[in-house]
Amino acid sequence: MPIAVCCDNVAMPKHWKTKLIHSDVRVPEGYRSLTTPTYRGSTVLFPDAAAVTDAWDQYEAGYTYGLYGSPTTLELAERICELEEGHRTIITPGGQCAISMINLALLKSGDHTLVPESIYGPNRKFANDVLRRFGAQVTYYQPTIGGDIARLIQPNTRLIWCESPGSITMEIQDIPAIAEAAHKAGALVVMDNTWSAGVYFDAFAHGVDVTMQALTKYVGGHSDLLLGSITVKDASLYRALGAVQQLLGCAASPDDCSLALRGMKTLAVRLEAIGSSALAVARWLADRPEVELVLHPALETCPGHELWQRDFSGATGVFAFVMQKDVPKDRVMKFVNSLKLFKIGYSWGGVTSLAVAYNFSYYKNRPSYQHRIVRLNIGLEAMDDLLADLQQAFQASAG
Ligand SMILES: Cc1ncc(COP(=O)(O)O)c(C=O)c1O
């Protein structure tokens, strides 16, 4: 193939400053690689003056503006959608952004939403601080309520949020029963499906209308990006969400999308390794004298374990355990501080094991685990080394 590198068909002479902006170089065509190119850009070029439009739906209008997605962003969106088997996916700059966009797109003043007590903390804070300020009503429900949620549905209930397992306390929800009650009353079911990475729980087959994930966690997989996804089951929900993304201006970075596309390629092997280590660590903890309860969905001690067996096809690497009732707070803190391989920090789903101690003493309507609950994120370290680390931390915190 000829390599035409410079100055073909130069129509008009140019100052070097103009050449910096309007170059005539051409590079060979036909490069084929295994990687999706990273298309960055705010401006998108139109073929002529009449073609200019600010339409956000790039599937209908073609590319119009970087905010609505470049080919890199849309490839990630389509690939998440393919895995979740939804209608369309929108990529957002983080999981929390996906949560707020869903609320702002699907609720209005006077509407009512039901939110599980076990929802991710900032999701709850958004409901309390923003939704209520804008005149929406919020009621919290016990995550294990199942079909009894029908009792809490009001004529103005528009959205029922679910997250399964719940954040930190890990309750598995009866999503089909909740969806049946919701749909009978004309309400939508939205699920935070981050824990299952969108693959171990088939949300749309279980009656969910809208899912979101923090791609920051397992899809990214290396603790080096923030992204979210919203997947919808039909075109009218896509229109509602797409229009709000445009107006909120929530653009995801194509560079982060490129990293997420790379992360997707190893998602299966990472989840398999992380999931089997996490289960082994959970079983080991269940036998420790210092531990009262292990909250891992694959163990019978986890609330809703039988629903996990019925509805999920696997378990990932985040779970919690509760120390015995006589373990004081400073000993829990000393245990976490004594860990060497497990690091202390938020945002799970990466390759590094993490530990965070939580204090539930001040939460009404949450299980009475007080200061005794520790959440672990299992990474890709050798499992025996993780067990040795936990063992030495129990010993160090005993004295
Ligand atoms: C269950 C769950 N949903 C949503 C989020 C928010 O994701 P992000 O950190 O990408 O905003 C998190 C983050 O910790 C999470 O744990």
For each of the chain's 399 residues, which pLDDT tens digit applies?
Answer: 444 444 445 568 999 999 999 999 999 999 999 999 999 999 999 999 999 999 999 999 999 999 999 999 999 999 999 999 999 999 999 999 999 999 999 999 999 999 999 999 999 999 999 999 999 999 999 999 999 999 999 999 999 999 999 999 999 999 999 999 999 999 999 999 999 999 999 999 999 999 999 999 999 999 999 999 999 999 999 999 999 999 999 999 999 999 999 999 999 999 999 999 999 999 999 999 999 999 999 999 999 999 999 999 999 999 999 999 999 999 999 999 999 999 999 999 999 999 999 999 888 899 999 999 999 999 999 999 999 999 999 999 997
Report the separation in Å between the CA atom of 318 and the middle of ligand 1, taken as the mean of its atom positions.
13
397 close to 335: Cβ distance less than 8 angstroms: yes
Residue labelled with tokens 């000393």:
334
Residue labelled with tokens 């693959």:
199
b vs e for 61-94, b when ≥16 Cβ sit within 10 Å of the residue's Cβ? eebbbbbbbbbbbbbbbebbbebbebebbbbbbb
Element (H, E) at 53: none
Predicted local distance difference test score (pLDDT) of residue 279: 98
Whether 211 lines ligand 1, by a CB cut-off of 6 Å, is no
Q: Which residue's alpha carbon is nearest to atom 8 within ligand 1?
A: 95
Q: For a pocket test of ligand 1, which of 91, 347, 375 has the largest count of ligand atoms closer than 8 A to its C-beta?
A: 347
Taking residue 300's Cβ as centre, other Cβ atoms within 10 Å add up to: 10
Concatenated DSSP letters for 244-290?
Answer: HHHHHT-PPPHHHHHHHHHHHHTHHHHHHHHHHHHHHHHHHHHT-TT
Report the separation in Å between the CA atom of 342 and the middle of ligand 1, taken as the mean of its atom positions.
20
Report the separation in Å between the CA atom of 96 and the middle of ligand 1, taken as the mean of its atom positions.
6
Q: What are phi and psi of 355, to 5 degrees?
A: -140, 135
Predicted local distance difference test score (pLDDT) of residue 364: 84
Strand order across the 354-358 sheet: 291-295, 318-323, 373-377, 354-358
Predicted local distance difference test score (pLDDT) of residue 175: 98
Whether 228 lines ligand 1, by a CB cut-off of 6 Å, is yes
Q: What are phi and psi of 305, to 5 degrees?
A: -50, -40
Report the separation in Å between the CA atom of 123 and the middle of ligand 1, taken as the mean of its atom positions.
9
Report the separation in Å between the CA atom of 98 and the middle of ligand 1, taken as the mean of its atom positions.
9
What gap in Å lies between CA 26 and CA 34, rounded to an integer? Answer: 22
**Residue partners of 298: CB distance under 8 A and separation at least 6:** 279, 282, 305, 308, 315
Whether 229 lines ligand 1, by a CB cut-off of 6 Å, is no
Q: Which residue's alpha carbon is nearest to atom 2 within ligand 1?
A: 120
Predicted local distance difference test score (pLDDT) of residue 65: 97
Q: Shortest CA distance to 381 belongs to which of 345, 339, 352?
A: 352
Helix (H, G, I), strand (E, B) or coil at 175: helix
Atom of ligand 1 at shortest range from CA of 346: 14
Let me know the angle formed at the C-alpha of 301 by 295 and 307, rounded to the nearest 5 degrees.
90
Q: Which residue's alpha carbon is nearest to atom 16 within ligand 1?
A: 120
Predicted local distance difference test score (pLDDT) of residue 9: 53
What gap in Å lies between CA 233 and CA 206, rounded to an integer? Answer: 12
Q: What are phi and psi of 318, to 5 degrees?
A: -110, 130
What gap in Å lies between CA 209 and CA 139, rounded to an integer? Answer: 20
Atom of ligand 1 at shortest range from CA of 94: 10
Whether 264 lines ligand 1, by a CB cut-off of 6 Å, is no
Report the separation in Å between the CA atom of 50 and the middle of ligand 1, taken as the mean of its atom positions.
42
Whether 194 lines ligand 1, by a CB cut-off of 6 Å, is yes
Predicted local distance difference test score (pLDDT) of residue 357: 98
Whether 94 lines ligand 1, by a CB cut-off of 6 Å, is yes
Whether 353 lines ligand 1, by a CB cut-off of 6 Å, is no
Residue 334 CA to its chain's centroid (Å): 30
Whether 392 lines ligand 1, by a CB cut-off of 6 Å, is no
Whether 226 lines ligand 1, by a CB cut-off of 6 Å, is yes
Atom of ligand 1 at shortest range from CA of 96: 11
pTM, two decimal places: 0.95
14 close to 22: Cβ distance less than 8 angstroms: yes
80 close to 231: Cβ distance less than 8 angstroms: yes
Q: Shortest CA distance to 372 belongs to which of 303, 317, 313, 293?
A: 293
Helix crossing, 267-286 with 383-398: angle to 10°? 40
